[in-house]
Amino acid sequence: MASQTKYTVLEVDTGDQSPPSSSATPRRWWSRPIVTLTASNDRPTTFTESIAFVTPCCTGIFTVVAFFYILLLIDQSLSHAKFSIQSIAVSPSDVATWHVDFLVNNPSTRYSMYYDGNDASVRLGPLNAAVLNISRRREARDVTVMSLAFAAEEGSGNDVVSLGVKLRAMHKRYVNYDEAGHLDVRCQNLTRSHENVNIHKIICQSSFTPLERFW
């Protein structure tokens, strides 16, 4: 009987290995869905799965709305500048010249004031006064001394009058456009007498009024 020769085939390792199939590659965590809805021919989607599917979208919308609402509250809660009178000097004549020094405390940088005599207006009692000059001197980061000079008709020295000052201002807002307007300053319990002026009885209040827009 003839002998049979057996051949052995040796496998040579060339170093090249076929990559694993894509089905075996694990997906990264950021590409994995929170929940996978069933196909139309599978079982119906449960209520819990539907809620889990829409929750990320609802959470994102809620976060954006809450963020803008917080910014809106900040815009409305910012305090504008506060005014107080430090000194008053009145030069007696038919048309008296008043020199009033205000201490301006502006705690917020979101409100900007413009100390320009051309844009300012003054009322002494019921009458308008002529603005002669406005100057300022910074005392601290949020404290400014404003010097106002104006001319008004001389009245009785015992008259108690109010002083109204209007300055151009800008409110820089976080939400929507910036508001242009003016800062109204109203001081009560002033007297026309240049000899006896009680500064401590004078009460000043201020408010910001935005300009009306027609669009």
Q: Enumerate residues 6+ apart whose C-beta is below 8 A from 162.
A: 123, 124, 125, 186, 187, 188, 190
Task: Tell me which long-range contacts 11-18 makes (C-beta under 8 A, separation of at least 24).
Answer: none
Per-residue tens of pLDDT for the chain, all 215 residues: 445 555 554 554 555 555 555 555 666 655 665 555 555 566 676 777 777 777 888 888 888 887 777 777 766 666 678 899 998 888 877 778 899 999 998 867 777 888 888 889 999 888 889 999 999 898 888 899 999 999 987 765 567 788 999 999 888 877 777 778 888 999 998 876 655 566 778 889 988 888 865 44
Distance CA 150, CA 101 (A): 12
Flag whether the pTM goes above 0.75: no
Opening angle at CA 98, ends 96 and 99, nearest 5 = 155
Unique residue bearing structure tokens 């005599």: 117
Strand partners, 183: 167, 208
Place of tokens 């009322």: 123
CB 160 within 8 A of CB 190: yes
